[in-house]
């Protein structure tokens, strides 16, 4: 399996306000994933509508846009084997109340609307690439060798 799959991940405004950026970054570092891009930023209305376009028209959409634009977020790109699916597993279920302890949402959240983290949907083909392109320019992504990869992967 290739080790260079990239996925888009974001600490949402509730996670930033609650001081969880460091904890969340640590989990992905500890797992052996490689950080290739990161940006502390505020999402505007237009980007929010583009990012959450698939949910337009749903009853929670306006609230979701209001929430995601309400304060800064920490946007990241992580790289590794099966990165999109593995990050989703680490996040837990959409509703923190249904998320197992040990997952990010299961450890840090209680409320569906404030579920701390976003990660590209591995069941939505190409969502990772689309979301990376929406938040990052190519030159904002760094090509570098993670020395620990020799130990994370048997066949690096
Ligand atoms: P995901 O974040 O696990 O991929 P999605 O179904 O893509 O979940 O929904 C996007 C975000 O919209 C969720 O993370 C959550 O913050 C919010 N959301 C989803 N469903 C509801 C709902 O029924 N009520 C309120 N907010 C919701
Ligand atoms: Mg989703």
- Where exactly are the structural domains of the chain? 5-145
Read off the pLDDT of each residue in 147-154 and give the average, rounded to a whole number: 96
**Strand (E) or helix (H) holding 5:** strand 5-11
Structure token pair of residue 58: 């749903």
Angstrom distance (rounded) from CA 102 to CA 55: 28
Does the annotation list 105 as a binding residue? Answer: yes
Q: CB under 8 Å to 17, separation ≥6 — which residues?
A: 71
Counting every residue written for the chain, the total comes to 156
Per-residue model confidence (pLDDT) at position 22? 98
Is residue 118 annotated as a catalytic residue, yes or no?
yes
Query: Dihedrals φ, ψ of 94, to 5°?
Result: -55, -45
Q: Which atom of ligand 1 is nearest to the CA of 12?
A: 16
User: Does the structure show a pLDDT above 70 at 52?
Assistant: yes
Per-residue model confidence (pLDDT) at position 1? 84
Between residues 156 and 118, the one the model is more confident about: 118
Per-residue model confidence (pLDDT) at position 156? 65
pLDDT single digits (tens) 2-36: 999 999 999 999 999 999 999 999 999 999 999 99
Q: Which atom of ligand 1 is nearest to the CA of 115?
A: 16
Ligand 2 centroid to Cα of residue 118, in Å, is 7
Class of domain 5-145: alpha beta
């Amino acid at each position: 399996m290739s080790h260079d799959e990239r996925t888009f991940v974001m600490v949402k405004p509730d996670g930033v306000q609650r001081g969880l950026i460091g904890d969340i970054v640590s989990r992905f570092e500890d797992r052996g994933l490689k950080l290739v891009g990161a940006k502390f930023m505020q999402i505007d209305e237009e980007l929010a509508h583009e990012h959450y376009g698939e949910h337009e028209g749903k009853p929670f959409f306006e609230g979701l846009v209001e929430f995601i634009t309400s304060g800064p977020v920490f946007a990241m790109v992580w790289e590794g084997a099966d990165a999109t699916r593995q990050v989703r597993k680490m996040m837990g279920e959409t509703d923190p109340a249904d998320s197992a302890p040990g997952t990010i949402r299961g450890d840090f959240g209680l409320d569906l609307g404030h579920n701390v983290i976003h990660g590209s949907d591995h069941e939505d083909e190409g969502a990772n690439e689309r979301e990376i392109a929406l938040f990052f320019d190519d030159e904002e992504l760094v090509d570098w060798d993670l020395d620990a990869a020799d130990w994370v992967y048997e066949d690096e």
